[in-house]
Amino acid sequence: MAIDKITTASITDANITTAKLAYDAAPFRNIIINGDMSLAQRATSVSGVGNGDSGYHTCDRWKFFELGAGTGEFTQSQSTDVPTGQGFATSLKMDCTTADASLAAADVMWIQQIVEAQNLQYIKKGTSSAESLTLSFWVYATKTGTNICELYDENNRQVSKSYTISSSNTWEKKTITFPADTSGALGNDNGIGMYVNFFLLAGSNYTSGTLSETWTSATAANRGVGQVNHADNTSNNFYITGVQLEAGTTASDFEFLPVDVNLQRCQRYFELLIGSRSQYSRYSSVTYVNPFFFKVTKRANPTISKTEATFTMFYNNGYDTGVTWNSDIMSVDQVTIYMSSTRDYGFIGPDESKPFKADSEL
């Protein structure tokens, strides 16, 4: 088999450019985690989202947020409706199920990802060398018109940019470049660095000013100017996938990651302990469990929640139901549980349908 030789003719500025070298040498150039919506550890569909339901519901790292007293509601789901021929298998869908056509002034809803501050150090925000940021994504919506995307940082500084959905119920790719910010340096820690917000609706408190297209101290009236209302009709749907935020003024192709790598990145913030078993033994008048070790070190000490208030303890060939979780000792790597039981030793753990949840989201 012939082997091609590398010659000086094949190594030219035309073939190897600074941009290409930077592209090839930059794994994890996408600041967004799970931008292809491929992971949904919590659930694949949740109804009644809205009217007091800010939080994480389906696709990992994507939070639904609302303020005000709006009555609009959505079913949020991980959908298989995706742009054709782009390599995506899933999207995040917001299906309006209860309309709210008359927004109050304080009403606002958006889908957001919150980025950890220490993951943003290389954009050099707050210095004279600060980087511009380019956001690219695919969107599909029933409602056409102006929409707002916003970056909002830990210093209450923000910048908003508009994009237009031109055709109803059609996948469209959008690219937005946000300017560099030489003010508002970010902390180098595991706290909140920046919010990436996709508006779904906004009342007049957020739309009555002039859109702030350069970084500035946040003024509510300038944040969502022109935003259409995706909750004004129960026929409305809003889908998004392929979300990528990267340093520079040019959008590169979406960075697809292996599923195991993507899962580990998501588990830093949320993990299901499913079917785990840990040995327990008596300690004084109560029973304790040897640590449950997390698969991935958490961002910070997580909150552990249970699907049900009690759980099952296994011993020898039998089991006790209704065991109470009294307290726990938590770290970023493990949780040790203290509980009530008369058994001296055995194993304990959630069954497949009733997992423990370790939550370390921002």
- Claim to verify: residue 87 and residue 224 sit in the same structural domain: yes
346: domain CATH number is: 2.60.40
Q: Does some domain include residue 42?
A: yes
Show Cβ contacts of residue 37 under 8 Å, excluding neighbours closer than 6 positions: 59, 62, 78, 88, 90, 91, 92, 240, 241
User: How far is the C-alpha of 358 from the C-alpha of 122, rounded, in Å?
Assistant: 29
Q: Name the amino acid, one letter, at 79.
A: S
- Claim to verify: residue 91 and residue 159 sit in the same structural domain: yes
User: How far is the C-alpha of 143 from the C-alpha of 59, rounded, in Å?
Assistant: 23
- Claim to verify: residue 250 and residue 158 sit in the same structural domain: yes
Which run of H or E residues covers position 285? none
Q: Does some domain include residue 166?
A: yes
- Claim to verify: residue 215 and residue 309 sit in the same structural domain: no
Q: Does some domain include residue 5?
A: no
- Claim to verify: residue 219 and residue 323 sit in the same structural domain: no
Query: 350 near 323, Cβ under 8 Å?
Result: no
> What Rg value do the Cα atoms of the chain yield, rounded?
24
Q: Name the amino acid, one letter, at 134.
A: T
Instruction: Please identify, among 247, 267, 287, the residue that sits at the C-terminal boundary of a domain.
Output: 267
- Claim to verify: residue 207 and residue 286 sit in the same structural domain: no
**Angle, vertex CA 242, rays to CA 237 and CA 248, nearest 5:** 130
- In 10 A of CB 307, how many CB atoms? 13
User: How far is the C-alpha of 14 from the C-alpha of 305, rounded, in Å?
Assistant: 56
| Nearest Cα residue to 32 out of 187, 144, 194 | 194
pLDDT value for 50: 96
DSSP-based helix, strand, coil % in the chain, nearest 5: 10, 40, 50
- pLDDT string in tens for the chain (362-residue length): 454 555 555 555 555 444 444 444 468 999 999 999 999 999 999 999 998 999 999 999 999 999 999 999 999 999 999 999 999 999 999 999 999 999 999 999 999 999 999 999 999 999 999 999 999 999 999 999 999 999 999 999 999 999 999 999 999 999 999 999 999 999 999 999 999 999 999 999 999 999 999 999 999 999 999 999 999 999 999 999 999 999 999 999 999 999 999 999 999 999 998 766 677 666 666 776 768 889 999 999 999 887 666 666 666 666 766 677 778 889 999 988 777 766 666 776 666 667 889 999 99
Residue reference for tokens 């917001």 = 94
Q: Does some domain include residue 4?
A: no
Listing DSSP states for 195-234 in one string gives EEEEEEEE-GGGTSS----S-EE--GGGTSTT---TTS-T
Q: Which domain holds residue 312?
A: 270-359
- Claim to verify: residue 80 and residue 91 sit in the same structural domain: yes
Query: 113 near 213, Cβ under 8 Å?
Result: no
Q: Does some domain include residue 16?
A: no
Query: Total domain count for the chain?
Result: 2
Instruction: Please identify, among 267, 297, 313, the residue that sits at the C-terminal boundary of a domain.
Output: 267
- Claim to verify: residue 150 and residue 185 sit in the same structural domain: yes
- Claim to verify: residue 261 and residue 278 sit in the same structural domain: no
- Claim to verify: residue 100 and residue 30 sit in the same structural domain: yes
- Claim to verify: residue 181 and residue 146 sit in the same structural domain: yes
* CA dist 214 → 29, 155, 184 (Å): 23, 15, 13
- Claim to verify: residue 260 and residue 295 sit in the same structural domain: no
Show Cβ contacts of residue 331 under 8 Å, excluding neighbours closer than 6 positions: 301
Which run of H or E residues covers position 314? strand 310-315
